[in-house]
Structure 1
Amino acid sequence: ILIVYISFSYFPPTKISFSENRLRLPPDSNDLKKLSPGDPCEVLSKAKEGEPLAWWRATAKMFKGEFYVVEYEVSTQGNNYSEIVPSDKIRCPNTNPPLTFSSFKRIEIFVGRDLQEVCSNPANHKDFKRTTGATIVRYDAQKESLVIISDNEATIRRVQILSDMHVRTLRAKSKLVLETEKVHKQLERMKVNQTSKYLEKFTVKTELMGLAIGAHGSNILKAREVPGITAIEVEDDTCTIKVFGD
């Protein structure tokens, strides 16, 4: 099944079975110099206002600079319709076959759950996608893998060569994000220490830390709501709880 999305359109996504599909990949080149009057061509147009653009079969009739006169056959009775179109709206007939399931190449790269956050951001795959020529690069949380899809076998080979480097780059970005968050927390802690007048700290036995913090930190959250409390810090490695107040 193909799911077709039409850009800049209010039309909902449409499901099309491969057996009924007439979608084709665009031609590799479009040399309009090969086009002569009377030759078949295809024109990017729409049957009526409100419909999406599509490539319609037509016949080239006359050329004038960057503009072309084309003629559509709009009915089985032979009624024709002529139109003047610019060069970016006309192409030679697309000889590529309709898409099939085997038209798409797919490869998965395991990256692990620790990179889920950085992998879920499409912007982090922009350079990798451009370098490899991949059509789609997305993260599959269930498989903890990057999924790369392309219609070109050469793209899959480039992905296999460059995937290790891309994963290392993602891991470096993830580490940078964690370090940035750590520095931010340290700065917030310093700010609290400077503005708070009072500090009370105490140590809890390791086996009692869960009770002290509460389920999902519920006790800490409630304590922070007490009037006069400016901050509460929990140091897991030393089982120390610090309470700041004004």
Structure 2
Amino acid sequence: MDDPNVEVLGPHGAYYKATVVDINGEEVTVRYEGEWCADTRVAMTGVRLPPCSNIPLPTEYAEAAEVEVFDQLMGAPHAAFWKATVKMSKGDFHVVELVGVQVSGGENIFPSDKVRPRNTNPPITSKSLHKVEIEVPEDIRDYARMESVHKPFKKAVGSTSCVYNPDTRKLVLIV
């Protein structure tokens, strides 16, 4: 799978890491990190960009700070970002109250590497990402089906996603 480039709103208000593999009007097709389900079409209104990755995360949070906790809660199929409020911090651990989620026991204590400031990015729009399709010649279509062969090309063109669509016989790039 490509590196996740979006976060998709799921049940209970959690955001799951995913990669956009196609754009269809006001919807995008995403592939979830861990590939725990088939590629899924979702409305752009439930998809946001992750926060800027070159800003270091704080190790301490003030009481009542709005944060997100990255964990697999409530029987979720994969880890996701859950809205929370910091109740207390001690050293590298934070006691949080999850927003709209009921958990029992010690599940509300998280290390700093699982906590980040609340992502305030708005939902993506049709102007956030662009799709480019490249016709694949017949003699290399079998080769194009192998996902791993696209990584150097993806990197060279600065694409966030590069997948072969066997139905259209095209390489789909998301930039």
TM-score (norm 2): 0.62
Letter in 2 for 1:40: E
Structure 1 residue 6 displacement after superposition: 4.1
In structure 2, what is the Cα distance between the partners aligned to 1:4 and 1:146?
A: 16
1:112 paired residue among 137, 140, 147: 137
Q: Percent identity?
A: 33
TM-superposition CA deviations, 1:227-246 (whole Å, max 9, x none):
xxxxxxxxxxxxxxxxxxxx
Conserved? CA contact 1:140–1:147, under 8 Å = yes
Letter in 2 for 1:71: E
Letter in 1 for 2:91: G
Conserved? CA contact 1:44–1:90, under 8 Å = yes
Structure 1 residue 102 displacement after superposition: 2.7
Structure number with larger C-alpha Rg:
1
Conserved? CA contact 1:74–1:80, under 8 Å = no
TM-superposition CA deviations, 1:56-95 (whole Å, max 9, x none):
22112322332212122437xxx99881101221111112
- Change in Cα spacing, 1:108 to 1:9, as seen in structure 2 (3 Å) is closer
What's the RMSD between the two structures over aligned residues? 3.3
The residue aligned with 2:66 is 40
Tell me which protein shows more strand as a share of its residues.
Answer: 2
State yes or no: 1:24 paired with 2:48. yes
Structure 1 residue 26 displacement after superposition: 1.0
Structure 1 residue 111 displacement after superposition: 5.0
- Change in Cα spacing, 1:52 to 1:138, as seen in structure 2 (3 Å) is closer
Structure 1 residue 25 displacement after superposition: 1.5
The 3-state SS of whatever aligns with 2:143 is helix
- Change in Cα spacing, 1:15 to 1:107, as seen in structure 2 (3 Å) is closer
1:126 paired residue among 127, 143, 151: 151
- Change in Cα spacing, 1:117 to 1:73, as seen in structure 2 (3 Å) is closer
- Change in Cα spacing, 1:85 to 1:132, as seen in structure 2 (3 Å) is farther
Conserved? CA contact 1:71–1:80, under 8 Å = no
Letter in 1 for 2:163: R
Tell me which protein shows more helix as a share of its residues.
Answer: 1
The 3-state SS of whatever aligns with 1:100 is coil
Corresponding residue pairs, total: 145
State yes or no: 1:91 paired with 2:110. no
In structure 2, what is the Cα distance between the partners aligned to 1:36 and 1:100?
A: 33
The residue aligned with 2:23 is none
Letter in 1 for 2:46: R
In structure 2, what is the Cα distance between the partners aligned to 1:5 and 1:146?
A: 16
1:135 paired residue among 154, 160, 166: 160
In structure 2, what is the Cα distance between the partners aligned to 1:57 and 1:141?
A: 38
Any residues of structure 2 matched to 1:215-230 within 5 Å, and which? none
TM-superposition CA deviations, 1:96-119 (whole Å, max 9, x none):
111233322122334533333333
- Change in Cα spacing, 1:49 to 1:142, as seen in structure 2 (3 Å) is closer
In structure 1, what is the Cα distance between the partners aligned to 2:151 and 2:171?
A: 13
Conserved? CA contact 1:44–1:56, under 8 Å = yes
Structure 1 residue 126 displacement after superposition: 1.8
TM-superposition CA deviations, 1:108-162 (whole Å, max 9, x none):
3345333333333322222222344422223355765432113xxxxxxxxxxxx
